[in-house]
Structure 1
Amino acid sequence: MADKNAESTIKKWVATQSKEIMEKSKLLINLDEVEEKEASWLIPGYLPKGQICIMCGDGGAGKTTTWCALAASVSTGGKVFFDQTPDEFVKAEPQKVLFFSSEDSIEYVLRAKLRKSGANLKNIFSVSLKNPQFADVKFNSSLLKDIVAEVKPALAVLDPVQSFVPDNVSMSQRNEMRSCLNPLIALGEEFGTTFLIICHTNKRMGVYGRKRISDSSDIWDIARSVLIVGNVPGSSQRYLSQEKSNYGQLSQTALFTIDETGAHLEEYTDRRDADFVRESDFENRQAPQRQDAEKFIVEYLRNGKRLTSELDEAAQAAGISRSSLARAKTELRKKKLLGSKSEGFGQNKAFYSYLLEQRT
């Protein structure tokens, strides 16, 4: 009997303690008291406000130029190049931007990129890589929380992801990565900050979308929007493809170019990262045949102009396919090595191919 009384007393005590803990911490919420809200956007359709988003791409694809263009537009209240909002409906106010970069120097690279992109530099804040405390900025650190609380940025960029993962966390461990990223969700909700995490893509051929992100699939899962930046095969253009969106349909892919003043929109397309990856893989598989065709053309025309029809016949006799020959001609024209012209009129008109003067 004594044991039963003791057990009953313990249960009552535990129940009382649990109730007190929940009351003190306000652990539970009643959904009847929760106000429903629609998603708001930093960049309509592409980057939701107050959420974790990621941008990834190969080295040299234009990630830094792209996020600098984004930061510049947020700092001025202007329109970033990939935003599809009609100009007359753009009503954003200038907002603050915070960034951390362990890949590029603020003094030598990033300030100039931001300035040339038209940024209001007074609205952009960072921590110098030369500052010893930079190493303490981690996704779950109190230092990052304090900085965000002080600046209250609309956008915070962390480039690249590996620099801000705590030392005791393995990116390949799902639970560990999710735990260290969770504090960003709370910061986003509290301060309305959109966190843009910059990632590298892996080098595996034939993979696209989710499988393109290096090191951790957890980053994809926790992100509300995923953007992939890449090179358009056979072109000087780049692409920005939205591969994931939790708050609506995927936005169109932006094709853009980069010059000294930043990124510039060329057009929109419905093609996605997978389409460009397949096209690139195809070109890589065809590259040896094209390169052999290029060498044949250069050697055949070394002594001067020749009839284009004769060039085509000679290439076919050498076992070069029409498609490889066409790609080789296109590539040589891009390199400004191959020219063509017509001579004569009417039935006597003939087309010639010749080598241009090579430029070093």
Structure 2
Amino acid sequence: MSGLEFEILPSESSQPESELKTELTPRAYLLTRLADVKPERPLWLRPGHIPKGKIVLIDGDLATDKSTLALDIAAHVTTGTVWPDGSAGCDPANVLLLTAEDGLADTVSPRIRAAQGDASKMFALSEVFKDGKEVAITLTDALPQR
């Protein structure tokens, strides 16, 4: 981590209020001690398989149908239909798709329709602009910060 500076900010539970910093510096990181985190049960989109409200990454070798799998999952999410194993579907919801390889018009759209998904609930992030110029898509640049 050569050249990376960071500052560890105290948690409220470990420092008196008078010692807490109120403004973060541009390179400040908030570290959370896992012993201080109360475990919670996850919410599931597909019980035991796909967590609700989380980023899900599908990774694998070339030509192993990752895109087809992702679009089939998206189709189930957009329609709320039962999963292939017969387990209950979720409430219909929107899906944000990031794809770097497949064309929207010749691959993604036909596949989502073939899987009987609701294309009106599918959104593909295709371009990101920063300072008026197109930049590579990264989640840190593309999505608003809280």
Larger Rg: 1
Match of 1:138 in 2: 138
- Among 66, 71, 75, the residue aligned to 2:74: 71
| Preserved CA contact (<8 Å) 2:71 2:112 | yes
| Preserved CA contact (<8 Å) 1:69 1:80 | no
1:1-360 pair list within 5 angstroms: 19-21=19-21, 37-81=40-84, 83=85, 85=87, 90=88, 92-128=90-126, 131=127, 133=129, 135-141=135-141, 143-145=142-144
Task: Name the SS for the 1:125 alignment partner.
Answer: strand
Q: CA deviation at 1:58?
A: 2.2
Q: CA deviation at 1:127?
A: 2.7
Distance 1:93 1:103 in 2: 29
Aligned length: 121
The percentage of counterpart residues that share the same residue type is 26
2:102 aligned partner, one-letter code: D
| Preserved CA contact (<8 Å) 1:75 1:97 | yes
**Higher RCO by CA contacts (8 Å cutoff, separation 6 or greater):** 1
Distance 2:17 2:39 in 1: 32
**Distance 1:36-1:60 versus aligned 2 partners, 3 A rule:** closer
Question: Gaps spanning 5+ residues in structure 1: where?
Answer: 1-14, 147-186, 188-360
Task: Name the SS for the 2:144 alignment partner.
Answer: helix
Distance 2:63 2:135 in 1: 25
1:94 aligned partner, one-letter code: P
**Distance 1:91-1:114 versus aligned 2 partners, 3 A rule:** closer
Say which structure is richer in strand.
Answer: 1
Distance 2:50 2:63 in 1: 22
Query: What TM-score do you get using the length of structure 1 for normalisation?
Result: 0.29
2:19 aligned partner, one-letter code: K
Distance 1:139 1:101 in 2: 12
Task: Name the SS for the 1:73 alignment partner.
Answer: helix
Distance 2:50 2:89 in 1: 16
1:93 aligned partner, one-letter code: D
Task: Name the SS for the 1:119 alignment partner.
Answer: coil
**Distance 1:18-1:53 versus aligned 2 partners, 3 A rule:** farther
| Preserved CA contact (<8 Å) 2:75 2:118 | yes
Question: Gaps spanning 5+ residues in structure 2: where?
Answer: 1-14, 25-29
**Distance 1:103-1:94 versus aligned 2 partners, 3 A rule:** same
| Preserved CA contact (<8 Å) 1:73 1:80 | yes
**Distance 1:28-1:56 versus aligned 2 partners, 3 A rule:** closer
| Preserved CA contact (<8 Å) 2:44 2:50 | yes
Query: What TM-score do you get using the length of structure 2 for normalisation?
Result: 0.65
| Preserved CA contact (<8 Å) 2:76 2:89 | no
Q: CA deviation at 1:112?
A: 0.4
Distance 1:36 1:17 in 2: 26
Distance 1:65 1:28 in 2: 38
| Preserved CA contact (<8 Å) 1:137 1:144 | no
Say which structure is richer in helix.
Answer: 1
Distance 2:77 2:118 in 1: 9
